[in-house]
Structure 1
Amino acid sequence: MHGHMWQWSTVGMFFFGMGALIPTSARACVAPNCMVGVRFPLPEGGGVVPANIPGLVTVPPLLENVDPSTVRLLLPDGTQVPATVTAGAHQTQVLVPDAPLEPGTTYRIEAKGVCQFQPTQTESVTFTAGPALPLPSTTGTLTVDTPGQSIFNVYGDSSCGTRQVNGNFTVLRFTPSPELVPFLPWVHWTVEVDGEPWSFAKHSGLTSTGEENLELRRHENNRQLLFLFTFCDYVGCADSYQRPPIDSLPPGRHRATLKATLEHADLTLPSVSVDFELGCAAQVASAGTHWGSGCADGGTEVDGGPMNEDPRPAPVDAPKGCTQAGGGLTVLSLLATLRLWSGRSSRRAKN
């Protein structure tokens, strides 16, 4: 009796250990509190801020907030500029000056993040106001690359980390209109596919050349904005049964729509759309495209995003199937082993 209790206690501890390895919720996939800190989107390379900017955005630390009472706009001598602070998209605070800024004047915007587990300090940044500019009425142009098939990294799923998959993908290419470029730091973005949300990017998420600012997003549990893909097969055998399936677009024709919103501006920027088609190569599709299917190896790895010089790698080799047993000891095999072990122990006891 004591022997059986010891055996099943061991099993319980094993399963408890397995539970400890299960990824936590998606919200736990971001950086620790205030690791990134408060951020103030501004033009690249120290560019000037249009005097008629609708609102200056203060982005909070990840999963945290900005104390609105600490958001202030100051002149070089410390004089506070009259302004209203209001909530913006993605937990931001938006400072709206009561009057247009003075061209040629240097300003300082400051704010303090609210972090649950550690004290914070006031952070600030300076900028120079430029002449007033016409508010944008156009967004830009959107095109799409020829789809390619390869091994690439997937970010922002429930596994709380980077996953390598074999799939068919394409990259959206966005060129912002000249009138939108001066206001890009205060624009946030959404991509929809067939009318359904695909991903989003916070303020200054796209550069002046239309590329995704991945450095600002590396701690977020969020798919890349401009990288669209269809999952075809797993790369690692362990992924095929130890993790949930990849959430991706189904094979076929689709329409991607990019939407831009200038924070606190009383205008609607027109969305831009483009059609594309994705589908798995025959040799990959034959291996199965569902959870627990065969595993692929070989091929060319690419980073799933618009920063690649050439996002169209060579086709992958035909995948080599692998079974769950090849990935290690499974729960079923463990139970079978324990049953055999228990039977042998009972026979010894009778003898």
Structure 2
Amino acid sequence: MDKKKVVAPLVCHGHSRPVVDVFYSPITPDGFFLVSASKDSTPMLRNGETGDWIGTFQGHKGAVWSCCLDKHALRAASASADFSAKLWDALTGDELHSFEHKHIVRACAFSEDTHLLLTGGMEKTLRIFDLNRPDGLPREIEKAPGSVRTLSWLHSDQTILGSCTDVGGVRLWDVRTGAIVRTLETKSSVTSAEVSQDGRYITTADGSTVKFWDANHFGLVKSYDMPCIVESASLEPTYGNKFIVGGEDMWIHVFDFHTGVEVGCNKGHHGPVHCLRFSPGGESYASGSEDGTIRIWQTGPLVDNEKDSPVDDELAHQFENAHISKEERRDASENTPEEKTLDAK
């Protein structure tokens, strides 16, 4: 692909300040969804396929640093500089609970079974909240060596993966004991850590390097030097044969996973790219930037490099038919983020 060729993305407006996190739900019976976090304090929910705005979660008093959806896309969570993490009803937009902290909360993640919410931030303490008893005291995990930046669950909720803003490396906590059992060493602090959809790889971005780790044995599989300082990286989920990175140069670079050769480069943002993620089917990816916009880029037909064949037709139809209900589309088209918060599906 010609690096100078610009591929026109879907541009999603609505945020008034930088977008610092984007998160896709898995494919659900109603399609798949995209939630975004911004320094404007209002997480937003969108149709993951079309980028259409569905609603805005209102209630935070400070920048929102992290956001996520549970695997059914029924609830959302957000982590904020207002010293709280909030749980939301993704169907109505209602705030279900506010989990108070003593400092800025930078990361949140639903457990795979959807019963737990994990948080971390400037306190350097990991907390696990039982969503079946939200008023109960959380379980606290051994302190991190620095301010927590990213958090993920691994191994059917038996392991926690986390990185810090002021120290290098990725740490793994055993949920049963609460102890750090392993550290994946990096030279710079890790700004992005993603567990692949099939659970095989951990993708990290630190400084100008992207690394891929074996998620079960924790060995370093591949390490590639990037053309600029990168903030986020994501591995294509269907075949795992390419990955994307974004950072200071405002470009989104596409690389071959096996060789590290750059195979594409898209530009459209007017500020550094803070976050990006592939959609659950890999047919597109979303990027969030300092410019306050989210852009959704199409990847084209999915092809298995080893078999040189298009993605299975039945699966392709599944992606094409993923959508929200007619009522949701009507509600979203009739309202703007400024007019109304999240409507019930």
Give 1 or 2: higher helix fraction.
1
Structure with more of its chain in strand, by fraction? 2
- Work out whether the TM-score is over 0.5: no
Larger Rg: 1
Shorter-chain TM-score bucket reads under 0.3
TM-score for the superposition, normalised by structure 1: 0.24
